[in-house]
A = this chain, B = another copy of it.
Amino acid sequence: MQQENRKEQIIRVAAKLFKEKGYSAVTMRDLASSLGIKAASLYNHINSKQDILKSIIISIAEEFTEGMNVIQVSNNSSIDKLKQIVKLHVTISSQNIYGMASLNNDWMHLEEQLEYYLKLRYDYEDDFRNIIKQGIASNEIKDEKLDLMLFSMLSTLRSLYLWIPKKEDLNPKELADNLSNILINGINK
């Protein structure tokens, strides 16, 4: 396990505070105070508050993009690709509980990187939609309300960061399996 330097520590603690109150409501004094130093000292390690947000969001967004690229080129069925997507979200969310909050709620405060972020996001949704579409074409998935199915699955997956921390004894693989089952087969007996 690699050692965490001060900059990484600042970003990690910032992400935690951003999850609790949102990016805009967290001050550099709040952040410094959480680290036991003065606000001015932060600037020896980071360029700006903006820059912290960028570090948090962009790295996670790129993880999703890379994960989706791997899934796309696999030769699995559409349903299996969906299961891989669920696993991707569970894995990344488990490892970035705090960062996922910023990704979901504070992306609009990105400035120079906003356009880049939005492109990654739209491309991801397009890839997701196309996998469902292929599943409809191959008769694996119901041929109705494509966008609504996408929205429903994506909403649940994007909210995982809120739910995972409430279940301490969570096995990521088991969660992914159970969640896949619910999303694909519903709750009906």
Binding site for B on A (CB under 8 A): 20-25, 79, 105-106, 108-109, 132, 135, 139-145, 147-149, 151-153, 155-156, 158-159, 162-163, 167, 175, 178-179, 182-189
CB pair B185 A184 closer than 8 Å: no
Tell me if A20 and B108 are in contact (CB < 8 A).
yes
Residues on B with beta carbons closer than 8 Å to the beta carbon of A167: 147
Q: How far apart are the CA atoms of A23 and B158 in the complex, in Å?
A: 21
- Determine how close the nearest CB of chain B comes to the CB of A137; give it in whole angstroms: 12
Residues of B within 8 Å of A106, CB to CB, are 22
Given contacts A155-B159, A183-B186, A185-B186, 18 further A-B contacts (CB under 8 A): A22-B22, A22-B23, A22-B106, A24-B24, A25-B109, A105-B105, A132-B187, A142-B187, A145-B182, A148-B179, A149-B182, A149-B187, A151-B159, A151-B163, A152-B179, A155-B155, A184-B187, A185-B185
